[in-house]
Amino acid sequence: MTDPTPAGYDEFGLFHENAEEVGLPFDRPPVVRREFREVAPGRRVSALVWGEGPPELVLLHGGGQNAHTWDTVALALDRPLVAVDLPGHGHSDWPTESAWLDPASMADDIAPVITELAPGARAVVGMSLGGATSIALATRHPHLVPRLLLVDITPGVTGDKTSDIAAFLSGPETFATFDEILERTVQFNPTRSVSSLRRGVLHNSVRLPDGTWTWRHQLGRPAMEPGLHVERADNLMQWDALQRIGVPVLLVRGSRSPVVDDEDEAEFRRRRPSDDVVVVADAGHSIQGDQPLELARIIEAFVRPVTG
């Protein structure tokens, strides 16, 4: 499979746009590199490594997204970190086994990547499917998760709550032009700027040999039922598993998101009375896209007691 990109596209050449859009200073490009690690014969997981020091954070994106969803947050944090492409997303290969979207399998895949690239990380931040994966990671590989921040995800998520996400991801598998794939993205994200969405689509799409466009998470995926519902969340995780995690957990929810509601927040507080919940105003499910500076501030405050 070839991977041609639009003329002039540079994966690491758009950070100035991220900074300008939210008013962050931008004196020079950040130090960012892409790494690949083999997790099974012929199958690799990729990640973006920010900074030159030992990574202090691990960021896990949601279904249908990729590591670049964190770009503005990473710029605002200005600290060494690793943003992982979940298996089957971004530049990471799809699992070939039947459990292709099982958070436990994803956690097992990314555990050796974190062990090698960010063994001393102070916290894991998981959004949506990445949050489900981070819960599994904290359960199965607890030494890798000293603190956990969940972005708009709890075990209370259901298919009904993620119906809008499902509708978006269940759209056409290919598009005649880049403008068509961007137009669909804008249609489903009316509160986001077109420039922001264009960057996201550039990072998350590829042009096929026949000239059409498709999402990166469509490439090499195993056979599945019609329509890709990456955020299909029923039974992805259980409240008991979240309750058993023995490290601090912070839940951050978007005020306009249907994915985590008041009942979910109440159940989280009941299960983890020593932990807290933060509601981000004017944010939907993808808080890192809607309110990246506020999310960066929340992450910073969450890890500050650890970093001193």
Indicate which residues carry an active-site annotation: 128, 152, 285
pLDDT of residue 79 exceeding 50, the answer is: yes
**What pairing do the DSSP bridges indicate for beta strands 57-60 and 81-84?**
parallel
Distance CA 213, CA 207 (A): 4
Taking only the tens place, the pLDDT of each residue in 233-270 is 444 568 999 999 999 999 999 999 999 999 999 999 99
Place of tokens 């998350």: 204
pLDDT of residue 227: 42
Strand residues in 219-296 grouped as ranges (E)? 249-254, 276-280
4 found inside a domain: no
- Top pLDDT among 191 and 56 is at 56
pLDDT at 7: 55
Mean pLDDT for 193-215 is 94
Kindly state the average pLDDT of the residues 213-219. Answer: 91
Average pLDDT across the chain, whole number: 90
Residue 97 has a pLDDT of 63
For the stretch 101-119, pLDDT in tens is 789 999 999 999 999 999 9
Rounded distance between C-alpha atoms, residue 259 and residue 254, angstroms:
9
When pLDDT is averaged across residues 61-76 and rounded to a whole number, the result is 97
Which DSSP category does 274 fall into? T
The residues, ordered by sequence, that sit 6+ positions from 123 with a Cβ below 8 Å of its Cβ are 56, 57, 58, 145, 146, 147, 148, 149, 299, 302, 303, 306
Distance CA 265, CA 245 (A): 17
In a domain, 9, yes or no: no
Distance (Å, whole) CA 98 – CA 75: 37
pLDDT digits (tens, 9 = 90+) for 26-36: 999 999 999 99
Residue 2, domain member (yes or no): no
- How far is the C-alpha of 308 from the C-alpha of 306, rounded, in Å? 6
Sorting pLDDT into bands at 50, 70 and 90, what band is 160? Answer: confident
Classify each residue of 80-107 as buried b or exposed e, where b means 16 or more C-beta atoms within 10 Å of its C-beta.
bbbbbbbbbbbbbbbbeeeebbbbbbbb
Q: Is the pLDDT of residue 1 over 70?
A: no
Mean pLDDT of 280-293: 96
Q: Domain holding 106: CATH number?
A: 3.40.50.1820
Decide if 3 is inside a domain.
no
- Please report whether residue 186 resides in a domain: yes
Compute CA distances 272 → 79, 201, 268, whole Å.
29, 37, 6
Q: For residue 140, tell me if it sits in a domain.
A: yes
**Is 111 part of a structural domain of the chain?**
yes
Q: State percent of the chain over pLDDT 70.
A: 90
The mean pLDDT value for 198-202 works out to: 96
What is the pLDDT, as a whole number, of residue 166? 85
The answer, yes or no, to whether residue 143 has pLDDT greater than 70, is yes
Q: Which structural domain, as residue segments, surrounds residue 205? A: 15-307
Domains in the chain: how many in total? 1
Is 224 part of a structural domain of the chain?
yes
